[in-house]
Chain A
């Protein structure tokens, strides 16, 4: 029972790191980025190449994956995404789905369609036994890393100058522009960091989530659930939503395995009907 809770929390934390970039882009630019999972996949494959092929230590491979994906995200943002912000939602959906299709086929072509695993160092394998609860070392590491990241993100958002600019831009873009905030630059950096975090999540989660070319399609719906259920106005909402989703999914698969993901989709639809703005969102005028 508690092991399921523990696994669920680890899974939820991972989902949060994967999806938090998406929630910011959606809230800030009102941009529907279905290709967010492609960046996570990029991070995962980057780690696979680094650790398995080039023999880079795992501890070093994961941060490199973060940097590479962040660079990739920044590059895409500056060259492609900027043209699409002002378009209709239909255009955004088409554009990002196109990117997803391309990334799936490209990875299939270069890496093959079979599932890949990252070699985790021996020190991280195995289990602790605390008060009769089996805790995987690797999952514990994920919880620690993701927890620290969450706290860091919350601090950056709440305490730094950049964070207040970002929040201002999310709340009202026009006024923020009028106050002299360079919304484009703020957004570019946020997008890059968000993609980087997705890449980090993909790198850490390759073991748990499974890494193959259809990754962006399989997890797209999960990211969107986190964002729509959690709301886009703060970081706490998506965090709670991902923890709930993680526990719900793990518990659902354990107790009623035959229903599969049905429970998750049903909960999502109910929540969206009940509170279209998200479960934890402040009611905003928009």
Chain B
């Protein structure tokens, strides 16, 4: 199936087939359109919930970054917080010392910094088994946390980075107290990143990632440069995680040591597991459910919500992640079919052209 990177040239007919297949897969389904319309409608629908919505958008982007390496490339990581944190501090510092005043440029630069760290550390992660990967990713984020703590004169240490003054976005929209502009900003960034991730995942490159997750040895045998593909996706994922971290610093005008904490990475795994790995909306849906759960539990027992989060994790694993994901997939499928039926009724012609659920 994955032939684009094979050494043998494709015959024209096969190349056409592959191109048609990729194009069919990457078409936006009606349900996706509805999802994003609803996401943007939330700006007007829930004006009193901006803060939690903003956190959800950031978490969704962060989860998306983990999904790229865990769901698509099969790299298990407990250290995604390293990239989140380093970009968070970077964007805070450049704003504090007035090096880069424009938030959008600072955001992109933070993403690049995180991606650079991802590129460097990817060579460590490629070695060894799952356990080694866990240890190395966790070790890297803890090490950065120690460094941030050590250079308290720059980072503020345990008190956090204070006095960050974020300039208005594009010189026009400043971050107000109610979080309206902040939320819109996060949502737009999330959408842009999502579109990029979607483009990556549905490209031949994304397909090759899936194949090497399935069986790295066979993928190598048909000519996929496994090592470099993993390096590439790890770097991209680090960049996305960095953008999420920078968003958090920019919208809160604060950054503290807990951006590097193990809990952050572990919570992220939970988010992704709730939403389901290996499809792009998993992180997004997971983030919405997780934030809702957290908010709800925190109102019941403000101090001990971690217990219930732990219980959710244990139960999910005991019930069987595959089974839970199966239910989610079934629910998704039925909703998709429903959506398609509605779509067929509204636009019979477009459905006849091939708007059926692509089942992926």
Contacts and interface: CB of A to CB of B under 8 A. Distances in A.
Given A93-B134, A108-B303, A266-B143, A98 B314 contact: yes
A272 B143 contact: no
Interface string A123-153: 0000000000000000000000000000000
Contacts of A101: 266, 306-307, 309-310, 313
Contacts of A106: 307
B128 A105 contact: no
A262 B150 contact: yes
A272 B314 contact: no
A80 B314 CA distance: 9
Given A221-B139, A272-B135, A93 B306 contact: no
Nearest to B78: A93
A268 interface: yes
Contact of B135 (A84, A97, A224): A224
Contact of B318 (A83, A261, A266): A83
A54 interface: no
B304 A108 contact: yes
A253 B33 CA distance: 56
A181 B305 CA distance: 43
A93 B76 contact: yes
B150 A260 contact: yes
Contact size range, B: 35 or more
Contacts of B280: none
A100 interface: yes
A252 B315 CA distance: 41
A97 B146 contact: no
A101 B264 CA distance: 12
Given A105-B307, A265-B139, A217 B273 contact: no
Q: Which of B139, B303, B307, B317 has the most CB of A within 10 A?
A: B317
A273 interface: yes
Interface in A184-227: 217, 220-221, 224-225
Given A101-B306, A105-B306, A272 B313 contact: no
Nearest to A278: B132
A258 B306 CA distance: 31
B134 A32 contact: yes
Nearest to B131: A32
B139 A91 contact: no
B317 A98 contact: yes
A269 interface: yes
A155 B165 CA distance: 64
A265 B142 contact: yes
A159 interface: no
A133 B64 CA distance: 56
Contacts of A220: 262
A106 B307 CA distance: 7
Interface of A: 26, 32, 80, 83-84, 87, 89-91, 93-95, 97-106, 108-109, 217, 220-221, 224-225, 228, 258-262, 265-266, 268-269, 272-273, 276
Interface of B: 70, 76, 78, 124, 127-132, 134-136, 138-140, 142-143, 146-147, 149-150, 262-263, 266, 269-270, 273, 303-307, 309-314, 316-318, 321
Which 4 residue pairs across A and B have the least CB separation, nearest first? A98-B313, A101-B310, A105-B307, A276-B128
Given A99-B310, A217-B262, A272-B139, 12 more contacts: A90-B269, A90-B321, A91-B321, A95-B313, A106-B307, A228-B131, A260-B150, A265-B146, A269-B124, A272-B128, A272-B132, A272-B135
